[in-house]
Structure 1
Amino acid sequence: MKNLSLSIPKPCSEKWENFSSTTNGALCGSCNKVVVDFTSMSDEALIDFFSKTKGHTCGRFRPDQLTTYTPSVRVKVNPGVTLLKAGLLSLLLVLTSKQASAQNKKPKSTTEAVEKRGRRAVPESTAIQTEKILKGVVLDEANKPMPGVNVVLKGSTTRIYTDVDGRFELSQKVKEGDVIYLYFIGYTSKEYVVSKEAGSDLVIRMACDIMTLGEVAVDAVYAPDQSGARRLWSKVKNLF
């Protein structure tokens, strides 16, 4: 298996904002070439693009994208073995759930029944909600979702990352005035103060502070084949 190494030996001095927009990037007026915008692509998308593209390509990259990539190896799984594992797992779950259900069935005590009859339940909706769950999406300058962005709640150990769609949900409830920080390599860090209206439809945009333009050099980096024992162990791990 061969790894993929991307680099730009001679960065271009032209400004991206001066280019004319195209469907997959922008047109450089100086050299009349289309510059592909790779800044919002995932690692898998980059590998797929350059594995299918032949010839020279001019691109716009984040600094962290100019690195070496290792293509993932898909292991063929025997359907019969997969069905057998699924059946055994289902049987184990059924037996476990029945045992847990039998242990959790406890008769209600007389005291508990009297207490419930003696007081009226207070609807949860009457309580004053001072804290809330914060959800949202992080977008770049082109309004495209940004996966892998660090989202940190100030004054706590809460740290999460945006998913493939750029979305996040803090596990810890927040209140008005709390501060969250957003970090991503190649982008200006963002500080957001939770407002009274903030909820599940929050949209945060981040601006890129460093961009690299130029003709991409694609090099195949040799990776030695694994030994027979290692290949067997890799296949076993991929079964689970």
Structure 2
Amino acid sequence: MRKIPLTVSIPHPCHQPWEDMTPDTRGRFCGSCQKSVIDFSVLSDSQLIELLSDTSQKYCGRFKKSQLDRLILPEQQATSLLPVAVLGVMLSAGLPAIASAADNHQLSATSDTTVSRTITGKVTEKDGTVVPGTSVFIKGMKTGTAVNEQGLYQLSVPSISPEQHMTLVFSFIGFDRVEVPLTGQQTVDVVLTPAVMGGCVVVAGGAFVRKATPWQRLKYKWKRLWHR
């Protein structure tokens, strides 16, 4: 499917800080706007186009200023669409579906390993707020799960020889990634820190997404011609 260039604008930004919003199943809940806010600030242009291609929908989200009021075009090189897939499900069905699916169908371990133990734990922010939907996986393997609504996870870990090393990775959009070396522990609790984004970030009560006009596309191509 051909990707159509877009523009995103926020006529009336919400001024409530992202950190003060309450985590919910779709991202964070703004008490001022009484709406769920999705974090789009971590996505590339290609990922934004992939997710916001339906311009008939209304979106409420967190964007970097550099993402607004300009032509958003698909990039030349393909980028990972994993964040897009996660956000897409969040927009359509809510995050609990992801967590429950991951709990019931953990990614299978590599074929040459044998399950030896189960690791459990809790994922929170510094103030104790749980972070449901956080991805938890073994680095370099196909073994993973997701944190449930209570902030808890359970992961079966393959056995390894003493000279081998395994790293448990915790990842969620809008937070810094955390890596924890596994040394035989049965419980791994993690505190996630909100990611510090480059540039100013705007949190909107509503974002307007429009398909780029022929004039905008022509203008962009003209600029590219002179800046090669």
Instruction: Provide TM-score, normalisation by structure 2.
Output: 0.42
The structure with the larger Rg is 1
Q: What TM-score do the two structures reach when normalised by structure 1?
A: 0.40
Higher relative helix content: 1
